[in-house]
Amino acid sequence: MPPTLCTPRLLLNPYTRDDEEGFVALFQDVRVSRWMGDGPSSEADDRALFGRIFSKVYARDLFDVWAVRRDGRLVGHAEIKRTDEVEGHEIVYALSPAVWGSGLGTELAEALVAYGFETLGLAEVHATVAAENEASLRLLGRIGFAHVRDIGEDDGGLTRVLTASRRSLSATSSPL
């Protein structure tokens, strides 16, 4: 099970079975799911995905995946996992449109990167973002991710691979 992480406004903790409806609602919102994986899925597929978090991911300790909460309410989803697509660990995050524009995406992404560096001991953290997802590309750029390469998708789309390295972030951060 992943550890609980706290930011000034967010709590990242393991999902509970009671989170299924909130999880499905988040992933069924096409404003969110259009940027996740292969895009929108059926409700049945999203329920199956939620079930696999327990039966596979948590049961086999495959990678860290969290429910993202604000004021006790499920507002998002977060992961950090090893992937061959980028030959390293990738962060994945999604927030409900109700909280977009509030700075929570930056807070969430920074928490995932810090966890990767400080807890997992990674030298680099990656993100893959659809080239059209300008909001996420801007967010990641602001917190120190650099564009590394592009991946052409079977559907003709383009995915940008971005990387943040511990070395480059520590070189640009100011002392306390």
* pLDDT at residue 134 is higher than 90: yes
By CB atoms closer than 10 A (0-12, 13-18, 19+), residue 76 is buried
Least confident range of 16-25, 37-46, 86-95 = 37-46
- The pLDDT value recorded for residue 153 is 81
Separation CA 164–CA 65 (nearest Å): 20
Instruction: Give me the sign of the Cα torsion angle 63, 9, 77, 165.
Output: negative
pLDDT at residue 176 is higher than 60? no
Distance (Å, whole) CA 90 – CA 112: 10
Q: Which of 3-7, 33-37, 68-72 is the least confident region?
A: 33-37
Residue 1, pLDDT above cutoff 60: yes
pLDDT at site 59:
97
Cα separation, 42 vs 27, whole angstroms? 9
- Within 8 A by CB and 6+ apart from 56, the residues are 62
Provide CB contacts within 8 A for 96, sequence distance 6+.
Answer: 26, 29, 32, 75, 76
Mean pLDDT of the chain: 92
Question: C-alpha angle 152/135/131, rounded to 5°?
Answer: 10
Instruction: State pLDDT tens for residues 106-118.
Output: 999 999 999 999 9
Residues 6 or more apart from 91 whose CB is under 8 A from it?
78, 79, 80, 109, 112, 113, 116, 125, 126, 127
**pLDDT band at residue 171 under the 50/70/90 scheme:** very low
Mean pLDDT of 32-44: 87
The per-residue pLDDT for 113 is 98
